[in-house]
Amino acid sequence: MAKQNTPVAEEDIRMGRRVSRQVSVLLTEIEKEDVPDRLLQLARDLQKALNEKIDDRHTG
């Protein structure tokens, strides 16, 4: 039986996408600054993890 999306789940997905967009904007700003490579990598890892979580919720 297929899992039905509830309004709450859809709202979570939309919020996740907004957060992901905001993280993307912040990552772009971080990339413009003189920051340690490790900090930049952590920011990229965060963005990747958020995108994966959104994808999992959307397809799960």
The DSSP code sequence of 3-30 is: PPPPHHHHHHHHHHHHHHHHHHHHHHHH
Q: Read off the pLDDT of residues 36-48 as tens digits, 9 standing for 90 and up.
A: 999 989 988 988 8
Q: How is the chain split into domains, by residue range?
A: 23-60
Q: Full-prediction pTM beyond 0.85?
A: no
Q: pLDDT digits over 6-32, tens only?
A: 566 788 778 878 888 888 888 888 889
* Dihedral (CA of 28, 30, 31, 32) sign: positive
* Side-chain-facing half-sphere of 19: CA atoms under 13 Å: 15
**How far lies 24's CA from each of 8, 19, 36, 47, in Å?**
24, 9, 18, 7
